[in-house]
């Protein structure tokens, strides 16, 4: 193939990473076959340094328990972490996460999951309690970190192509009503097991394509609220910001989007007086959580799947609908691959969220 000489630094990929989300709004569980297939179809967007999936509706038999997925980089970390869990939770079940050895997956960490209950006197603030304990593990125990901590959901991720990560974690054995899939092409942050997507805290999971030049100020803001960013990539802050804005501060999704992908000032000034006052207030209160830089993200919890791009749409994201099923994808072709008779498809507007809400039971 002829390669043209250029001074434009086109040797670096600025628009890679693949994101894909699929949700059945009625809460009907399905296998991840189509999500894996669609994510693999966008394999040119990844370089093998990260792949991962999030599954909701995964553990119906433990739907009321927090499911902590923990990576241990050293075996000696297991015992102190388990003692910590026993001291702070009722451990319902602990087990290794089933995996299948693959030649393409090298040096994986030890992977365990724990189903936990919170003491009665902590129930009224159990989510804040779990966040605090997750942050304690991730900052205070050498060689261990929690990468999934919600109820009736789980994250499975690592260093490898998405197709290999799916095989490694035996995802063919799981079902859920909402799946996220990600293929990573790290540019400015390391490709390692903890840095793969999705990123998670409680029920919130995030997959991301892009780069956040606002990472430093975002981290400082979130630290003031007790969130500790330890996984060496900018996407982690989006998960914590979603939890802060929509769970703790109870902002509606549309207002949270105005914080994360705030309109430009000239757009704010052109708004009607009521909206202008609202947007100004959000910028003044939450200016440090503005995500600056190119991005498209899919954010999910047990009740919603949200698609959002930056305010000038420098990263692609397409939505599609067929009956009860909603799709979000970096590429429309990946949606058509698994659903060739969409009722509707469209490209997201810059900074405007697309929201699919669960109508059935989670």
Q: Please, how many CA atoms are within 13 Å of residue 327, restricted to the half-sphere of its CB?
A: 28
Taking CA 93 as the corner, what is the angle to CA 32 and CA 151, rounded to the nearest 5 degrees? 50
Distance CA 200, CA 148 (A): 5
Distance CA 296, CA 209 (A): 5
Distance CA 71, CA 148 (A): 10
In this predicted structure, the answer to whether residue 205 has a pLDDT above a threshold of 70 is yes
Instruction: For residue 128, count other CB atoms closer than 10 A to its CB.
Output: 14
Distances (CA, A) of 240 to 7, 199, 235: 38, 9, 9
Inter-residue contact 355 to 349 (CB < 8 Å): no
Catalytic residue numbers read 17
For residue 185, what pLDDT band results from cuts at 50, 70 and 90? Answer: low
H or E element, residue 269: helix 265-270
In this predicted structure, the answer to whether residue 10 has a pLDDT above a threshold of 50 is no
For 310-359, how does the pLDDT look when each residue is reduced to its tens digit (9 = 90+)?
988 888 899 999 999 999 999 999 999 999 999 999 999 999 999 999 99
In this predicted structure, the answer to whether residue 234 has a pLDDT above a threshold of 90 is no
Distance CA 202, CA 192 (A): 22
For 314-327, how does the pLDDT look when each residue is reduced to its tens digit (9 = 90+)?
888 999 999 999 99
Distance CA 361, CA 330 (A): 28
The predicted structure's pLDDT at residue 187: 67
The token pair that represents 276 in the structure block:
């202008």
In this predicted structure, the answer to whether residue 29 has a pLDDT above a threshold of 90 is yes
The token pair that represents 273 in the structure block:
């007086």
Q: Which own/partner contact pairs does 101-106 have at CB distance under 8 Å and 24+ positions apart? A: 102/160, 102/164, 102/167, 102/168, 104/160, 104/161, 104/164, 105/158, 105/159, 105/160, 105/164, 105/165, 105/168, 106/159
β-pair type (204-210, 295-300): antiparallel
What sign does the CA torsion over 31, 35, 38, 43 have?
A: negative
The reported pTM is 0.93
Q: What is the mean pLDDT of residues 147-172?
A: 96
Q: What is the mean pLDDT of residues 58-70?
A: 97
Q: Is the domain 18-357 a CATH 3.60.20.10 member? A: yes
Q: Please, how many CA atoms are within 13 Å of residue 71, restricted to the half-sphere of its CB?
A: 20
């Amino acid at each position: 193939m002829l390669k043209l000489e250029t001074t434009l630094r086109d040797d670096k990929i600025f628009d890679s990473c693949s994101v894909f989300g699929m949700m059945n709004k009625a809460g009907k569980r399905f296998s991840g076959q189509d999500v894996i297939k669609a994510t693999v179809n966008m394999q040119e967007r990844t370089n093998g340094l990260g792949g991962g999936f999030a599954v909701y509706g995964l553990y119906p038999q433990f739907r009321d328990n927090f499911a902590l997925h923990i990576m241990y980089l050293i075996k000696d970390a297991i015992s102190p972490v388990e003692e910590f869990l026993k001291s702070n939770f009722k451990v319902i079940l602990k087990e290794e996460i089933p995996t299948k050895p693959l030649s393409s997956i090298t040096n994986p960490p030890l992977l365990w999951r724990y189903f936990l209950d919170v003491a009665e006197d902590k129930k009224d603030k159990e989510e804040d309690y779990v966040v605090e304990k997750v942050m304690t593990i991730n900052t205070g125990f050498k060689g261990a970190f929690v990468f999934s901590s919600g109820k009736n959901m789980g994250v499975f991720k690592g260093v490898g192509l998405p197709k290999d990560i799916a095989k490694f974690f035996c995802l063919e054995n799981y079902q859920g009503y909402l799946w996220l899939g990600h293929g990573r092409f790290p540019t400015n942050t390391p490709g390692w097991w903890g840095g793969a997507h999705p990123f998670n805290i409680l029920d919130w999971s995030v997959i991301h394509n892009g780069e956040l030049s606002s990472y430093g100020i975002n981290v400082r803001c979130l630290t003031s609220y007790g969130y500790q960013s330890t996984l060496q990539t900018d996407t982690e802050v989006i998960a914590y910001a979603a939890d802060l804005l929509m769970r703790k501060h109870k902002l509606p999704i549309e207002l949270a989007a105005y914080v994360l992908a705030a309109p430009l000032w000239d757009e704010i000034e052109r708004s009607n007086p009521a909206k202008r006052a609202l947007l100004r207030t959000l910028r003044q209160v939450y200016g440090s959580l503005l995500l600056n830089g190119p991005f498209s993200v899919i954010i999910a919890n047990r009740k919603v799947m949200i698609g959002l791009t930056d305010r000038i749409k420098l990263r692609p994201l397409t939505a599609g609908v067929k009956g009860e099923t909603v799709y979000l994808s970096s590429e429309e072709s990946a949606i058509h691959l698994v659903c060739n008779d969409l009722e509707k498809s469209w490209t997201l507007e810059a900074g405007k969220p697309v929201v699919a809400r669960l109508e059935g039971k989670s």
